[in-house]
Structure 1
Amino acid sequence: YIRNWAEVSFMRVGIGFDRASAAESGKKWFPQSKGGEYRKWYGNHETLLDWSRDGHELQTRLHSSGDRTLAHNFNLDKVFLGAATWTKISTGPISARIQPKGFLFNDASANAFPTGNISELSVVGLLCSKVTECLLPLINPTLNYLPGTIGALPVALSLDKESSAEKRAAKLIDIAKSDWDAYETSWDFSGLPLLLRDYRAETLEATYTGLRTHWQDMTNEMQRLEQENNRIFIEAYGLQDELSPEVPLEEITLTCNPAYRYGVKGSEEDRETRLRADTTAELISYAVGCMFGRYALEEPGLILANQGETIEDYLKRVPEPSFPADDDNVIPMLDGDWFTDDITERFREFLRIAFGEEHYGENLRFVEQALGKDIRKYFLKDFYNDHVRRYKKRPIYWLFSSPKGSFNALIYMHRYQPHTVGTVLEYLRDFKDEKLKARKNHLEAVSISAGASQGDKTKALKEIEKINKILAELDDYERDVLYPLATEQVEIDLDDGVKANYPKFGEALKKIPGLS
């Protein structure tokens, strides 16, 4: 009943509904608060719950024992209401967040629903303060932040709407929301910060420098506001002699803050290096999204994000794209320029179009220096691992890969059609039977040429031996795996989620622990 939001067709997702309109909407998936990592003010919006027909199946389906329903919800009068929420179990301080209207919740998170003139923003401000961090262990010295524990907190300050506490919390929530939505793992992501006009400069490096300055200003402002929030509550409780309002940089829970994102055990230089590399990887991920039509340079937010959508659907949304989406939803990822739509070639094209031809060489060098490797090597060695990690082992791009990785092709699961494996097979055969064999024939001619040096002949023979091994690998992959799969015309249903659909393709896809 639970999915990561990116797994399903977005047209079946209901954001911002109340309970009545959700029941009438025909939507299947609705946001669910499910705890998550230590993050204050806003965020951790990652999962959806099947609440079609007002949660009918969830509430009526029997457990395998037959003596009880599979799930219980004892707070139906509270679902879809705005709230203050927090992760129930934590080894560190409590981290409360605003929960907008339209969410369900489960046992991993707890919620407070203020009544009367009390503001949920003010409640979040109280729960994120040093005062609460001090008082909670006295009330309940365990790792469980239960609603009853929170309800037992003494309140020594007005939490009314329009109070100073609410106004301060509203500013903090706005900053936290802008940070959360700056990454493609947010359903409110509209575009890559590196592409925004506010930070654009002549080169990608200068653009990154401007963006990094903005992120530092955000972090500093967040720290200042959090310390003001602490002062409000410390003074209200008369704890000036006991508590300091200061907030360490690593507790400013913005993804753009490397002290929070990576911790402070290493050096500041190491953190900056990691942030530059990760920001570059996010640029590459966005570029791949544009290749598949999930995003477009001309339009904000999601473009193709529903099951079985096609290039025709894309062109209806983006009639004249500057960087067109791939026609057949198959992008080869190989160790060489074998195809014009190879992922490395397409990224280079993206870089030229998005950041201009004039500084292309300099921009590509910045990308490769940030990654610490050649862009093709990044795609072959790191890209898919980064993608699987970014989407928490529920990848939306799937990698068809031969046993030793000599052939790789990426597809976008939302554009998958039963004939897609057949298209991958066509790429494999073209690579194997046309391109590799043509290269082998050329090398064989070199190896017996009277005009070739002995060194060239030796080099040619070694490459022929390598190609023969690759051909044997790909013959086996085609015969035993890809061809039988292509004839099956496998159907998928995005509602079933990646965990159910990915294993249908067996050894054709790159193995992911927990999915294969």
Structure 2
Amino acid sequence: MATLLADKYEARKAEVNERFEQLRANEEKLNRIFAEIYNMVGEVPIEVEDKYVSVARIFDTADEIPESYKGNKYVRTKRDEITSLMSYAVGCMFGRYSLDVDGLVLADQGDTLANYVAKMPDANNITFMPDEDNVLPICDDEYFEDDIVGRFVEFVRVVYGAETLEENLRFIADALGGKGTPRQVIRVYFLKDFFSDHCQTYKKRPIYWLFDSGKKNGFKALVYMHRYQPDLLARVRTDYVFAQQERYRTQIGYIDDALASAEKGERVKLEKQRKKFVDQLEETAKFEEKLHHLADQMIAIDLDDGVKVNYAKFQDVLAKIK
């Protein structure tokens, strides 16, 4: 049955904010009890300030947060709720979570899709299947079948229904902020902000790793460290980077053909597009060399060593943790 994400958000906000007020009331009741026990009524504060209530409180926007809540680390906004949903969706894409069972699913070193299927109550009727090869490309357009934006849109369709898909995507995009169509806004978030938000959530110890060619966004892709296999880098290189480079060459070729007969106004636009593709191609060429060097080593990791140690092994091709 189709569901509006806006309705789900409002229901969650009401539940969370009611819990906030209930905790405040409980704490004030305890303060009053202890003040009476120790004969300190009127000498100690009974009321609990907003910033000291230690459970979540949701506001639609940051501008709506009163000054009295400043300093409360549990305060959240609609954007925070939506980015948490997007993080959960990525977890489902990798098989860390599932729509069919509670809790963690794939969380052991070297887990595969076969391990995921084996943990399902009905292997023939899985609601949302994780990515097969543990690589979710993030490009500035939908070049790959398992493009992260395409997979996220499918996740929203599966969870909330096809009938409300476009309205739900608009709600998500409005919460994120930005210009363009809902899919464009969502793509920009995955390109620019998802990894930094993920690093913040996991205290600079990300479990989803971002392959990143550089500032030109020539190539980016997320992988899940628990599903890492020594041949992963080789697969990223051959199945994704090479394919992306070929697309850039093709686009440059199309533009060169168009420039031969383009008028002045159109020529400016085409030359700008050409420069973008040339820059991305050059960036991915340098990235591919680094990736090739590491891929040939078939590097193994040990989750017991921790994220920091393992991430450093691939620092030449992974995004910097800030």
Partner SS, residue 56 of structure 2: coil
Question: In the alignment, is residue 212 of structure 1 matched against residue 212 of structure 2?
Answer: no
- The answer to whether the 8 A contact 1:293-1:325 is kept is yes
* Structure 1: stretches of 5+ with no match in the other structure: 1-199
Distance 1:240-1:413 versus aligned 2 partners, 3 A rule: same
Distance in 1 (alpha carbons) for counterparts of 2:78 and 2:219: 30
Which of 3, 22, 28 is the aligned partner of 1:221? 22
Map 1:65-76 onto structure 2 (within 5 A): none
Instruction: Identify the residue that residue 270 of structure 2 maps to in structure 1.
Output: 460
Question: In the alignment, is residue 233 of structure 1 matched against residue 34 of structure 2?
Answer: yes
- The answer to whether the 8 A contact 1:219-1:257 is kept is no
Q: CA deviation at 1:472?
A: 1.3
Question: In the alignment, is residue 482 of structure 1 matched against residue 303 of structure 2?
Answer: no
Distance 1:454-1:376 versus aligned 2 partners, 3 A rule: same
Which of 384, 391, 412 is the aligned partner of 2:202? 391
Distance 1:242-1:326 versus aligned 2 partners, 3 A rule: same
2:67 partner amino acid: K
Distance in 1 (alpha carbons) for counterparts of 2:2 and 2:279: 47
Distance in 1 (alpha carbons) for counterparts of 2:69 and 2:55: 19
Instruction: Identify the residue that residue 421 of structure 1 maps to in structure 2.
Output: 233
Q: CA deviation at 1:436?
A: 1.5
Question: In the alignment, is residue 325 of structure 1 matched against residue 127 of structure 2?
Answer: no
Instruction: Identify the residue that residue 441 of structure 1 maps to in structure 2.
Output: 253
- The answer to whether the 8 A contact 1:425-1:483 is kept is yes
Partner SS, residue 398 of structure 1: strand
Distance in 2 (alpha carbons) for counterparts of 1:359 and 1:266: 37
2:242 partner amino acid: R
Distance in 2 (alpha carbons) for counterparts of 1:201 and 1:231: 47
- The answer to whether the 8 A contact 1:448-1:457 is kept is no
Q: CA deviation at 1:241?
A: 3.1
Q: CA deviation at 1:459?
A: 2.2
Instruction: Identify the residue that residue 376 of structure 1 maps to in structure 2.
Output: 187
1:6-33 per-residue CA deviation (whole Å, 9 max, x = no partner) reads xxxxxxxxxxxxxxxxxxxxxxxxxxxx
Structure with greater proportional helix content:
2
Partner SS, residue 223 of structure 1: helix
Which of 163, 176, 193 is the aligned partner of 1:358? 163
Question: In the alignment, is residue 430 of structure 1 matched against residue 243 of structure 2?
Answer: yes
- The answer to whether the 8 A contact 2:20-2:56 is kept is no
Partner SS, residue 409 of structure 1: strand
Q: Which has the larger radius of gyration?
A: 1
Q: CA deviation at 1:458?
A: 3.5
- The answer to whether the 8 A contact 1:333-1:379 is kept is yes
- The answer to whether the 8 A contact 1:295-1:303 is kept is yes
TM-score, with structure 2 as normaliser: 0.89
1:328-366 per-residue CA deviation (whole Å, 9 max, x = no partner) reads 001001111111211111111111111111111111111
- The answer to whether the 8 A contact 1:446-1:456 is kept is no
1:226-265 per-residue CA deviation (whole Å, 9 max, x = no partner) reads 111112211111111312322122211003456xx99853
- The answer to whether the 8 A contact 2:56-2:76 is kept is no
Partner SS, residue 67 of structure 2: coil
Instruction: Identify the residue that residue 157 of structure 1 maps to in structure 2.
Output: none
Where do 4+ consecutive residues of structure 1 move more than 6 Å? Answer: none
Partner SS, residue 507 of structure 1: coil
Instruction: Identify the residue that residue 316 of structure 2 maps to in structure 1.
Output: 507
Partner SS, residue 411 of structure 1: strand
Q: Return 325-334 or 396-405, whichever deviates more.
A: 396-405
Distance 1:328-1:201 versus aligned 2 partners, 3 A rule: closer
Instruction: Identify the residue that residue 299 of structure 1 maps to in structure 2.
Output: 101
Distance in 2 (alpha carbons) for counterparts of 1:241 and 1:462: 71
Partner SS, residue 222 of structure 1: helix
Q: CA deviation at 1:202?
A: 3.4
How many positions carry a matched residue from both structures? 306
Question: In the alignment, is residue 311 of structure 1 matched against residue 121 of structure 2?
Answer: no
2:303 partner amino acid: L
Distance in 2 (alpha carbons) for counterparts of 1:236 and 1:462: 76
Q: CA deviation at 1:454?
A: 4.2
2:311 partner amino acid: Y
1:462 partner amino acid: K
Instruction: Identify the residue that residue 253 of structure 1 maps to in structure 2.
Output: 54
Distance 1:459-1:473 versus aligned 2 partners, 3 A rule: same
Which of 89, 99, 123 is the aligned partner of 1:287? 89
Distance 1:246-1:347 versus aligned 2 partners, 3 A rule: same
1:157-214 per-residue CA deviation (whole Å, 9 max, x = no partner) reads xxxxxxxxxxxxxxxxxxxxxxxxxxxxxxxxxxxxxxxxxxx993111110111111
2:320 partner amino acid: K
Distance in 1 (alpha carbons) for counterparts of 2:253 and 2:113: 37
Instruction: Identify the residue that residue 182 of structure 2 maps to in structure 1.
Output: none
Distance in 2 (alpha carbons) for counterparts of 1:311 and 1:417: 12
1:468 partner amino acid: V
1:300 partner amino acid: D
Task: State the identity %.
Answer: 40
Q: CA deviation at 1:422?
A: 0.9
1:133-160 per-residue CA deviation (whole Å, 9 max, x = no partner) reads xxxxxxxxxxxxxxxxxxxxxxxxxxxx
Distance in 1 (alpha carbons) for counterparts of 2:105 and 2:69: 40
Partner SS, residue 488 of structure 1: coil
Question: In the alignment, is residue 401 of structure 1 matched against residue 206 of structure 2?
Answer: no
Distance 1:482-1:375 versus aligned 2 partners, 3 A rule: same
Q: CA deviation at 1:223?
A: 1.2
